[in-house]
């Protein structure tokens, strides 16, 4: 059992998160405990690092670096957005064999799970003994099979915090600029936009309106919804998914038309569009925030739950591979009951590869402008504890003088 079976290769892919390095460190630290594993190699910029044979020797990293990486956002090995071609797979397997890679871990989303699945299958078909395991990661939370995805909880904590803080600001500004839009990441899945609802302590707290790509909504409804809250409270805070669709299923706002390497249209522009529409309709000043990549990289707001789970899925992946598994993804399964607890299981990679998991209908309210209690119950534990307590003045009015 003390014989080295081969080398380990690990990479990070797709959009970074605030906790993705926890998965990397989990893989490395677990690997160091298994004598079967020889070299621990990192792919520099994901699959591109394999194609270019650019590898980092991770056994040479200090334990202090590894511990500090757990606090460090974004993908420490570098990441990539590159659509692997059929010809590439042959080349990938050839490189794996040349470097005697027997354990392969790819930390990523749907596309990366597909890549890992195809490599696992190719190795099987060629009789090459490879243990390939997908490690889930995405702030979009759109992977199937797993209850939720590492990276999502921290991004959710950030957007809830951000919209609460900008909501207090918007209340304070009153008539000066009473309408606030915040554009939230999520091309097709609205999980992160939905998570802004965790900012609410009372029904009148921001965000007052939440629009997800899963539920098309007419521009007229958005105007009417915003007018309702503006007239009721004197201000209105709106969370809008970057991938919002109108009631005909068309993207709202023009976008910039960019397309990424996978052919996904890069969205954007929905708040610019709604900005014009709502100013005109409500006759009120409007401001918007586009926190952009801060949503996935703001390490100050790592969710402790998310951080730990990201670490554990890395460790679990190595244990599964050493135990003989391949072509699997580590999935997080929530235990039933009111107390939050999870188990880690292995799922067939083809169940997650290229499948997008959308916010289900029961998590979206009837009007399509907010979320349900069931969603809040789902999401609340993932952000790792309540947001810090804030206060509002009671504002006991002074009696007006009578002359």
Distances (CA, A) of 358 to 23, 140, 344: 24, 10, 21
Q: How far is the CB of 18 from a second copy (least distance, A)?
A: 8
Out of 140, 142, 205, 225, which one is annotated catalytic? 140
Q: What is the spatial distance between Cα 75 and Cα 17, in angstroms, rounded to a whole number? A: 7
Could you say whether residue 319 binds a second copy (CB under 8 A)? no
Q: Give the footprint of a second copy on residues 221-240 (CB under 8 A).
A: none
Residues 6+ apart with CB under 8 A from 394: none
Tokens 């380990």 belong to residue: 8
Q: Give the footprint of a second copy on residues 91-120 (CB under 8 A).
A: 98-99
Q: Give the footprint of a second copy on residues 148-167 (CB under 8 A).
A: 161-162, 165-166
Q: Give the footprint of a second copy on residues 39-68 (CB under 8 A).
A: 39, 41-42, 44-45, 53-58, 60-62, 64-66, 68
Q: What is the spatial distance between Cα 244 and Cα 251, in angstroms, rounded to a whole number? A: 6
Q: What is the spatial distance between Cα 220 and Cα 393, in angstroms, rounded to a whole number? A: 35
Q: What is the DSSP letter of 368?
A: S
Q: Give the footprint of a second copy on residues 239-268 (CB under 8 A).
A: 258, 260-261
Are the beta carbons of 367 and 217 closer than 8 angstroms?
no
Contact string 1-40 vs a second copy (x = CB under 8 A): -----------x---x-x--------------------x-
Q: What is the spatial distance between Cα 356 and Cα 144, in angstroms, rounded to a whole number? A: 6
Q: Give the footprint of a second copy on residues 356-395 (CB under 8 A).
A: 388-395
Could you say whether residue 280 binds a second copy (CB under 8 A)? no
Could you say whether residue 273 binds a second copy (CB under 8 A)? no
Q: How far is the CB of 40 from a second copy (least distance, A)?
A: 10
Tokens of 155: 């991004």
Q: Give the footprint of a second copy on residues 183-222 (CB under 8 A).
A: none
Q: How far is the CB of 82 from a second copy (least distance, A)?
A: 8
Q: Is the dihedral of CA 141, 154, 308, 40 positive or negative?
A: positive
Number of C-beta neighbours around residue 63 at 10 A? 11
Catalytic status, residue 140: yes
Q: How far is the CB of 400 from a second copy (least distance, A)?
A: 6
Size of the site for a second copy (CB under 8 A): 81
Q: Catalogue the active-site residues.
A: 140
């Amino acid at each position: 059992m003390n014989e080295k079976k081969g080398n380990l290769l690990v990479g990070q892919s797709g959009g970074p998160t605030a906790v993705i390095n926890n998965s990397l460190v989990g893989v490395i630290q677990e690997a160091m405990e298994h004598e079967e594993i020889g070299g621990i190699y990192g792919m520099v910029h994901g699959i591109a690092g394999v194609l270019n044979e650019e590898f980092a020797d991770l056994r040479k990293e200090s334990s202090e670096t590894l511990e500090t990486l757990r606090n460090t956002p974004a993908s420490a090995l570098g990441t990539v957005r590159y659509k692997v071609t059929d010809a590439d797979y042959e080349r990938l397997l050839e490189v794996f064999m040349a470097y005697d890679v027997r354990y392969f871990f790819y930390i990523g989303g749907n596309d990366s799970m597909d890549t890992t699945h195809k490599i696992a299958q190719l190795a099987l078909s060629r009789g090459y003994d490879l243990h390939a395991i997908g490690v889930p990661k995405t702030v979009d939370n759109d992977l199937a099979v797993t209850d939720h995805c590492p990276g999502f909880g921290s991004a959710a904590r950030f957007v809830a915090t951000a919209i609460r803080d900008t909501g207090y600001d918007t209340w304070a500004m009153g008539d000066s600029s009473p309408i606030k839009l915040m554009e939230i990441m999520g091309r097709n899945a609205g999980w992160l936009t939905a998570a802004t609802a965790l900012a609410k302590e009372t029904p009148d707290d921001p965000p007052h309106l939440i629009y997800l790509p899963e539920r098309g909504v007419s521009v007229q409804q958005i105007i009417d919804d915003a007018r309702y809250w503006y007239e009721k409270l004197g201000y209105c805070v709106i969370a809008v998914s970057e991938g919002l669709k109108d009631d005909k299923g068309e993207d709202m706002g023009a976008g910039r038309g960019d397309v990424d390497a996978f052919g996904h249209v890069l969205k954007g522009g929905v708040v610019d569009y709604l900005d014009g529409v709502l100013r005109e309709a409500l006759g009120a000043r409007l401001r918007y925030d586009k926190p952009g990549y801060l949503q996935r990289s703001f390490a100050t707001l790592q969710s402790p739950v998310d951080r730990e789970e990201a670490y554990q899925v890395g460790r679990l992946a190595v244990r599964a591979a050493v135990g003989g598994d391949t072509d699997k993804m580590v999935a997080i399964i929530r235990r039933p009951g009111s107390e939050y607890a999870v188990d880690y299981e292995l799922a067939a990679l083809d169940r997650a590869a290229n499948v997008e998991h959308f916010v289900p209908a029961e998590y979206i309210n009837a009007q399509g402008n907010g979320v349900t209690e069931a969603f809040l119950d789902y999401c609340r534990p993932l952000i790792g504890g309540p947001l810090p307590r804030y206060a509002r003045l009671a504002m006991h009015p002074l009696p007006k003088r009578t002359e």
